[in-house]
Each structure stands twice: as structure tokens, then as C-alpha cells.
Amino acid sequence: RTMANLGRGISIMSLTALAIVIVQCMVALYNQEHEDAVAIAAEEPPSSSSTSSPLILSKFSAMASIGFAVGSQKLFLNIRHEMADREQAPKTLGMALTMFGGAYVLVCWFANHATGPDVAPPSFLLDAIPEETLSRRLAGFFLWVHVVVSYAINSQAICSSFDRLFFHKVFPTQPQFRWTVLTMILAVSSYLVANAVPFFKDLVALIGALTSVPLTLLLPALLYRKLLQTRFLCFCGDPWSAALVAFGIAYLLVGLVGALYSIQMDWEHHGPPFSCH
């Protein structure tokens, strides 16, 4: 039940599955004709972000989604807790973020280059692969593997933290049963949240604004300023950490407004929570 054990096998499996999906999408984009790209763009369902919501609010929602995308670094504190040499943590984080950001830029550049200057790639990259094809089914399976593993790793970190903080007092002599109960509670909670916001892009934006931004931007800066014994928003001492606190708060509020507005519009146009779509 350690992050190190997860990283040795299951994380590699998740990254491999994601790499296969990306390669499939890139090949599909590269091989398709201009008319196919136009058809893909035309088939994309209208959403609150592209039609009814104001442009500024759609950008707010997109910013929250970006926060979710880069939010995997929040697991770094759990990983650092298990490192044999914690002095290597800053260098490890720098290398990881460089590779992570470089991969994002490379995929975005190739996707735009593959479709040509006059045609934008689909907003959901998987839509580049034609539906009802074997390639699409395989891509869907590998994407499912990646998502399951990613959320399982996040669940591992959350459950471990809950257990360490207070849940260890429940069934102290039955750790396996305690862990089962804890993971079951988290699974049921996840199911309720996922069905209350049954739109993937809206859920991603909401999670990004409410959890990823505070954990990846605000928390490190706040803890650092607490270590320096300075006021949170005072630019004395270390102005860079104060600027990060201010930016994190603004990012959280902006992303949350955009995500909530997008959810409200999708509820109105596609149905209320816990409805089938």
C-alpha cells in the first residue's frame, strides 16, 4: 500500500496505455483528409463552453481544467514522504514537471501540425479516431485502463492520509477490514459526485478548481510562508511565495466560477443530476 510499490508496476501500465492512445490519435489525425477533420469538428456536440456561456466564463472553465491536468504533482508530498533521501525531492520534482510539461506541449504541437493550419484538432483528442472502428474500441479500452489506474493511485493517497490522520482509530486491530471500509466510503462518494455532475469536462473543471489548484499552488506556498513565520499575503520576506498565494486564490475563484456556470448550463440543456444522457 505504498506509493513506491504502485510506481513500480501499475503506474508504468497506466502510462503505457495512455501512450498507446496518444499514438493512435496522432496517427488518425495525420492520416485523415481535410474533409474528415471538418466532419469531426462539425460532429462535436455543442456545449455550454462553446455556445451559450459567455466567452470569458468558458475560458475560466478551461483554466480550471488545466489546473486539473497539472494537479498530479499534488501526490509529490506522498511520494516525498516515502523517499529514502528527501534532499533529492526538489530535483525530482523539477525533472518530473519538466517531462510532464514537455509531453503536453509536444502532443499539442503535433496535433495542431497534423491537421494543418486551417483545421483545428478536435477538442477531445479521442474524437480524431473514427467511431465504430476497432481502433476506437481499443483506444477506449486503453483510456479506461489509464483512468482507472490514475484514480486508483489518487484514491490510495487520499485513503492513506485519512487512515493516518484519524481513521486508524476505527477497528484498530483489523487493518484489512478498516482499509476496505475506507476505500468503500471513498468509492461511494466518488459515485455520488460523478453522477451529480454527469459531464466529464465539467467534473474535471470542478475538481481542478476545488482540489488541484489549492493542493498544487496554495498549500506549498502557505506552508512555506508559515515556515518563514510571515503573514500569508504580505510581500515582505519572500515576495515570490506571496505572489503565488495571491495567484492561487485568484485561480481558485476564477476556475470555480467558470466550472459552476458550465455545470449549471449543462444541467439546463442536458438534464439534472443523476439523469441519463
Determine the pLDDT at residue 1: 52
Give the three-class secondary structure for 162: helix
Cell numbers describing residue 240: 515570490
Q: What pLDDT does 8 receive?
A: 66
pLDDT of residue 142: 92
Q: What does the pLDDT read at residue 3? A: 60
Q: Where are the alpha helices (DSSP H) in the chain?
A: 3-8, 10-31, 34-43, 55-69, 76-82, 89-115, 134-165, 175-196, 200-207, 213, 219-228, 239-270
Distant-in-sequence, close-in-space partners of 100: CB < 8 Å, separation ≥ 6: 70, 72, 73
What pLDDT sits at residue 10?
78
Using a cut of 0.85, tell me whether the model's pTM lies above it: no
CA–CA separation, 108 and 117 (whole Å): 13
238, containing H or E segment: none
| Grid coordinates belonging to 85 | 533521501
Distance CA 241, CA 222 (A): 8
Show pLDDT as tens, one digit a residue, over the chain (277 residues). 566 666 667 778 888 998 999 999 888 887 764 445 444 444 444 444 444 446 777 778 878 887 877 776 667 776 777 777 878 888 887 887 788 778 888 888 888 887 776 777 776 788 888 888 899 999 999 988 888 888 877 787 788 888 888 888 888 788 888 888 888 898 888 888 777 776 777 888 888 888 888 888 888 888 888 888 877 667 677 788 888 888 889 999 998 888 888 888 877 777 777 666 5
